[in-house]
Amino acid sequence: LLDSSWYTESMKAGHPVEILDRHKLQEQQVNESKDVECIVPSYACQRRTTLENHNTVLTDALSLLAENAELNDEEGRGVAFRRATAVLKVLPKPVTDMTQLRGLPCLGGHSLRVIKDILENGASSEVEFTKQSERFKALKVLTGIFGVGAKTAERWIREGIHSLHQLQDSAHTLNRAQKAGLEHYEDLNQPVTKAEGDAIREVVEKAVVSVLPGAEITLIGGFRRGKLTGHDVDFLITHPEEGREVGLMPKVVSWLESKGFLLYQKTTGNSYLESKDGPARPSSNMDRFERCFSIFKLPEDAKQGTQQIETLSKNTPEHMCSLAGPSLVKVEVNESTNCAKLKPWRAVRVDLVVAPFSQFAFALLGWTGSKLFERELRRWAGHEKAMSLSSHALYDNKQSKYLRASSEEEIFAHLGLEYFPPSERNA
Ligand code: DCT
Ligand code: MG
C-alpha cells in the first residue's frame, strides 16, 4: 500500500507533519485502516505544494471540471474539485492504483470516480464530454475576453452567442473593458512569460520611483511562486513611510500613460478603513485596495521581433491567421509586397495594487496566492483559530483585537502554521 506515507517520505526534515489536531485527522480519514499512519493534512495551507507535480494527467482532468463548475456558477463543486486537485499535487509519485489514494483527505466520490475512470480507461468520459461540449467551449471563449465574467457569458450564450464573431455581429454594446478585451483577445490569451513579467517590472519600477522616490515594488501572484508563465503580471506597491503611498496610483498611471505603455486602465480607490469596516469578510478581501487593472503595451525585444517576422513571412498571411486562431489577429500585411509583419508589441494584463505599509505583509500574503492556498488560509483562520484573515488584516475574534504583522512569517505564526515560502504555496 503506497497510501499517504508517500507524503511523509517526501517531506524533508523539519517539514510540517503534525500540525493537525489528532481528532481532526481521524475525522478526515474515513476509509483509513488503523495501521496506516496518514499525515496528509486536510488544509492546503498545511502542505508544501511546489510546482513539481507527478500527477498532471489527473490534476489537469480535475482542474478542467473545477473550471467548468466555476464557469457554471457552481462554487461549492468548483472548490471540491480544486481541493481534490491540490491533494494530488503533493503526492511524490504518479498514482497508478486506486488503493494508493486510501486515507487521503479531500477526495470526494465524484473526484474518485474521475480518477478511477482515467486509471482504468486512460481518460475520463466526463472530462472528455465536458471538453467537447458547445456550452463549455462557448463559456471559455467568451470569458476569455477581458471584462467578461461567467454571468455575462451565460447571458450571451442564452441569446445564441457562442463565438467572438457572433458577439461582434450582435447588437451588444460592450463596456470599455470588454472592448479592449476583444481588441487584444489574441495577446491576452497567450501566456505571459517570466521574461515579459521582468520587462514590465522594469518599466513599472521606473514609473513608481520617478513619481515617489523610496516607494517599493514587489512582484506578486504566480510569478512570485516561481511559475514560468501566467495569465497576467501582478505588482504590489508600498512606501515604508505610512501615508506616503496615498495618491500614488494616479501618478503611476499618468506616468505610464504619458509614455504610451497603457492600452487600457481602470483604477479603483482604496476603500478599506479598519475602524469603519472592521475585520474584512473573507469574500470581500480582494477589492478594497487602491488597484489598477490594466492592459500593458509591451514592446517586443527587437531581436525576437526580427526572428518572428522571418519565420512568419514564410507562411502566407492566410496561414498565419489560422495559426493564430479565430479572427481579431493583429497582423499587418503590406498590400504591395503581400508581406506579413508582426506588430512590434504585445498586450499583457497587468494588475497594480497599492498597500499602506502597515498592511503590506497581509497584502503580500493575500496576493501571492495560489487562489486555493489563500482560500484555505482564510478557512483555516476562521474554522480552526476563530480569526478573520484578509489581505488587509488579521482579527482575533476571541481576543477581540487585530494581530499586527510586518512579515508573512509573523502572520503564519499568528495562525499557528509553519511558514512556507511562496514556491511552496502552489496548491
Ligand atoms: N487571489 C485570490 N482570490 C481571488 C483572486 C486572486 O486570493 N479570487 C490572489 C491569489 C493570487 C493573486 O491574487 C493574483 O491573482 P491571479 O493573477 O488571478 O493569480 P495567479 O496565481 O497570479 O495566476 P496567473 O499566474 O495565471 O496570473
Ligand atoms: Mg497573476
* Residues 274-319 pLDDT 10s: 666 666 554 444 557 889 999 999 998 733 533 443 333 333 333 3
ipTM, two decimals:
0.98
C-beta 113 within 6 A of ligand 1 = no
**Catalytic residue chosen out of the listed positions 187, 277, 287, 351:** 351
pLDDT digits (tens, 9 = 90+) for 37-64: 347 999 999 999 999 999 999 999 999 9
- Comparing 20-24, 268-272, 298-302, 375-379, the range with the smallest average pLDDT is 20-24
Query: Percentage of the chain surpassing pLDDT 70?
Result: 78
Instruction: Evaluate if residue 334 carries a pLDDT over 80.
Output: no
Q: What is the pLDDT of residue 331?
A: 53
Q: Do the beta carbons of residue 333 and residue 317 sit within 8 Å? A: yes
Helix 150-158 with 56-71: angle, nearest 10 deg:
70
C-beta 51 within 6 A of ligand 1 = no
C-beta 367 within 6 A of ligand 1 = yes
User: Greater confidence, 341 or 179?
Assistant: 179
**Catalytic residue chosen out of the listed positions 232, 287, 301, 396:** 232
Q: How is the beta sheet containing 345-354 ordered, strand by strand?
A: 216-220, 233-238, 345-354, 290-299, 262-268
pLDDT digits (tens, 9 = 90+) for 147-173: 999 999 999 999 999 999 999 999 899
C-beta 227 within 6 A of ligand 1 = yes
Q: Do the beta carbons of residue 353 and residue 290 sit within 8 Å? A: yes
C-beta 197 within 6 A of ligand 1 = no
Q: What is the pLDDT of residue 289?
A: 86
Helix (H) or strand (E) holding 346: strand 345-354
Ligand 2 center from residue 297 Cα (angstroms)? 17
Task: Indicate which ligand has the atom closest to the C-alpha of 227.
Answer: 1
pTM score above 0.90? no
pLDDT digits (tens, 9 = 90+) for 107-139: 999 999 999 999 999 999 999 999 999 999 999
Q: What is the pLDDT of residue 192?
A: 98
Question: What are the two backbone dihedrals, phi and then psi, of residue 19, each rounded to the nearest 5 degrees?
Answer: -80, -30
Q: What is the pLDDT of residue 366?
A: 97
Q: What is the pLDDT of residue 269?
A: 82
Instruction: Evaluate if residue 252 carries a pLDDT over 50.
Output: yes
Does 232 qualify as catalytic in the annotation? yes
**Catalytic residue chosen out of the listed positions 21, 73, 97, 234:** 234
Q: What is the pLDDT of residue 279?
A: 65
Instruction: Evaluate if residue 13 carries a pLDDT over 60.
Output: no
Test site for ligand 1: of 371, 374, 376, 425, most ligand atoms within 8 A of the Cβ: 371
| Nearest alpha carbon, ligand 1 atom 8 | 371
